[in-house]
Amino acid sequence: MNVSRARSIDRRLGVPLCFLLDCWESVAGRFSRRKRESPVRKILFIKLSELGAIILAYPLLKRMKKEYPSAELFFMTFEKNRGIFKLLGGIIPEENILGIREAPAAMAADTLKALWRLRRERIDIVFDLEFFSRFSAIVSYLSKAGKRIGFFRYAFEGLYRGNLQTHNVLYNPLRHVAKNYLALAQSAGRAGKNTPQLEVPIDESELVFPRYVPDEKTVQAMPGKLSAAGAGRGEGRLFLINPGEGVLSLREWPIDNFIALSRMIIEDKNNRIIIIGTEGAAGKARLLMEGARSERCESLVGKTTLSELLWLFNSADTLISNDCGLAHLAMLSPIRKFIIFGPESPEVFSPLGDNNLVFYAGWPCSPCLSAFNHRESRCTDNKCLKAIAPGAIFARLS
């Protein structure tokens, strides 16, 4: 679904629905009996979009699995993200992934089906990992979970989605997303939360992510796939470039800059480039190959699974990418990551772990995207990205 359309639906339908449910809860809550604390048997996490954010939620999932070892974990997300959980060590069982298709009619049908199952499962705790989405707040409430934990605005204006949660955790726009997610965990053992302060600092030793080891099937298949695409393994250094898909063009480094950087890289005859990304990046990949003018620059855009991408990450020297989900996927491998930031803050969304180098011009108007404006900017000229010169990145590649 188009990002702008999704925001519009969430605002136009979500606000009145949240208001009505909030009114219902304020009345019905007076007559409901207080539930006694019972063992936590089933935990649901909701994060529909953004593959990278799901990966950054891994420390929270691991923390809950440690605190409630006998509990079943469930996850609601867009169907296209289903494969990531296998790469995260299967921490969410396949049968407990509630996939939602993105087309409006299919999304409505899948949501109703998921709610029917969640109410039968009798979920104990819901973690709403969305940043002030009304859709997830409504699903969380209708699941009838005893504890509904998510981000809350408190004294911030706007971002209304009712008061449908039982545990309201302040979203900190100055902290990394992974730390914000871990902050949600501090409320799980409490009866409720309606004040912003937390109990203890975030333990950064918990910000650990699994390393992906390619399975034998992928190891055997990938050399042939590379050869078929004209990107045979060969010798020398392999650079992976993700030029972006145009979905959030404001966050993408200009294609001319990618072309200029690619030409610098392949001046060394020992270097090769493979362009990666989903099918949406096909147009930019074609422009990049035409601009590079070299048989050592090939494309695998739209031709790889998540497992195959991670095989590439384990085999290549460096990934060069915009701020996007693939940059966070690369956290599951040892590859060097050169990530280009502009409208969003690297302090909040950068990949974690080793071998990360962030390029960020730090313009006074940047970042202009945040959870508090639903990551929607009025900017029409992303000079904060254009200011990062190809030569500045090339100089750090050696």
Report pLDDT digits (tens) over 358-392: 999 999 999 998 888 888 888 989 999 999 999 99
Q: Are 20 and 101 in contact (CB under 8 A)?
A: no
Range from 44-48, 272-276, 295-299, 375-379 carrying the lowest mean pLDDT: 375-379
Superfamily designation of domain 3-206: Glycogen Phosphorylase B; (3.40.50.2000)
Helix axes 14-31, 134-142, angle to 10 degrees: 30
Helices (H) and strands (E) in the chain — how many of each?
16, 12
Dump pLDDT digits (tens) for 291-317. 998 889 999 999 999 999 999 999 999
pLDDT range class, residue 206, cuts 50, 70, 90: very high
Structure tokens at 19: 């208001």
pTM of the predicted protein model: 0.92
The radius of gyration of the chain from alpha carbons, rounded to an integer in Å, stands at 22
Per-residue CA distances from 316 to 48, 129, 151, 311, 327 (Å): 30, 32, 38, 9, 14
Average pLDDT of the residues in 40-69: 96
**Range(s) within the chain of domains with CATH label 3.40.50.2000:** 3-206, 216-394
Task: Give the pLDDT confidence score for residue 229 in this predicted structure.
Answer: 67
Average pLDDT of the residues in 331-354: 94
Average pLDDT of the residues in 266-291: 92
Q: Are 91 and 98 in contact (CB under 8 A)?
A: no
Report the CATH fold assignment for 216-394.
Answer: Rossmann fold (3.40.50)
Residue 288: how many CB atoms within 10 A of its CB? 23
